[in-house]
Structure 1
Amino acid sequence: MNASITNSAFYRQTSAGFTLIELMITIAIMAIIVSIAAPSFGTQLANQRVKSTAINIESALKEAKAESIIRRQDVTVAYNSTLKTITLTGRNSAIIASYSINSKSDITQVITPDSVTQVIFQPNKMVSGASTEVVYTICDTGSTKETKKQVVVNKIANISIKDAGSC
């Protein structure tokens, strides 16, 4: 009877824990799952950066529109591509607000006619200088996929975000 007690105690001690093979298989499976999920995660981050930048631009434009009505004066919206900022200025070039843009976001601004480089909101709820619309196209420089959005301001100062454009 003593021999059976000794054998069961021996088996209990050696069967506790994981073998090296089991650990290697578990790590290999985890590496495969991570390698499948990583590209999807990167695309999701790029989408979020573009969406955040589009919302920042939309907020700046809506604030400029509201400030022009409240102040009863023209409010100018200018995008600085080197500093990645959008600046709202009022009468005598007084800065009303400044918005920072994500450094990985690439913004192209298309204004009709081409000679105009900024958007001017008037107190009569119109946009000065643009014959049809102003389009800001936002792309992500950190992504290989084409993640893009457009913020559009038309002549009567309606501001909208669209999933469109080309990077």
Structure 2
Amino acid sequence: MNAAIPNSSYKCQAKSVSGFTLIELMVTIAVLAIIVSIAAPNVSTQLANQRVKATAATLENALKEAKAESVIRRQNIEVIHDSTANTITLENVSDKVLSTYNINIESTVTITPNTATSVTFQPNKATFNGAQVVYTVCDSNTKATPRQVEVSAIANVSNKLGGTCS
């Protein structure tokens, strides 16, 4: 007995495969790696600038709070910067702590004049003995732009770009 094979021709049907080849994936990863290596230094500088900006804003807020509290309480309020603990403390005349602000550990604050360790606000909206103090805020990343928080003799507090870091 002979088995007959029908005349229908068998066609090889190739399945269409969707996806990416290994080479396409490797090229894409290489391009992404190059882009990330270019962007990484800019990101770290931006983060350092944000730390400096945040520290300067914290310092400015502490000084403005001290000025307002001296008027409200009708007594001198002293703003003390502790560089070892990275804090800013507001104290009244009886050394009672009113507020404490924490500073980012990667930020450094220097005070000009060097003899000043604190600034005292009086109820008459002036600083004690007409002291003029400049706080310079820097970051551990030397590419960050420093900022200065200035306190004038009439207790005006301003925050601006400037200063030098060593």
Q: Could you state the TM-score of these two structures normalised by the residue count of structure 2?
A: 0.89
- Equivalent residues in 2 for 1:6-155, closer than 5 Å: 6-7=12-13, 10-12=14-16, 15-111=17-113, 114-131=114-131, 133-141=132-140, 143-155=141-153
Q: CA deviation at 1:3?
A: 4.0
Q: Deviation string for 1:31-56 (max 9, x for gaps)? A: 01111111111111011100000000
- C-alpha contact (below 8 Å) 2:86/2:103 kept by paired residues: yes
User: Does the residue aligned with 1:93 lie in a helix, a strand or coil?
Assistant: coil
Distance 1:144 1:3 in 2: 74
User: Does the residue aligned with 2:94 lie in a helix, a strand or coil?
Assistant: helix
User: Does the residue aligned with 2:46 lie in a helix, a strand or coil?
Assistant: helix
Q: CA deviation at 1:100?
A: 0.3
1:161 maps onto 2:159 in alignment: yes
- C-alpha contact (below 8 Å) 1:116/1:129 kept by paired residues: no
- C-alpha contact (below 8 Å) 1:119/1:129 kept by paired residues: no
Structure 2, gaps ≥5 residues long:
1-7
Q: CA deviation at 1:2?
A: 4.8
Greater radius of gyration (CA): 2
Q: CA RMSD in A?
A: 1.5
AA partner of residue 123 (structure 1): P
Distance 2:60 2:115 in 1: 23
> Cα distance 1:2–1:135, how it changes in 2: closer, same or farther (>3 A)?
farther
What fraction of aligned residue pairs are identical, expressed as a percent? 53
Tell me how many residue pairs correspond in the alignment: 158
Structure 1, gaps ≥5 residues long:
none
User: Does the residue aligned with 1:17 lie in a helix, a strand or coil?
Assistant: coil
Structure with greater helix percent: 1
Write out the 4+ residue segments of structure 1 that deviate beyond 3 Å after TM superposition: 1-4
- C-alpha contact (below 8 Å) 1:64/1:76 kept by paired residues: yes
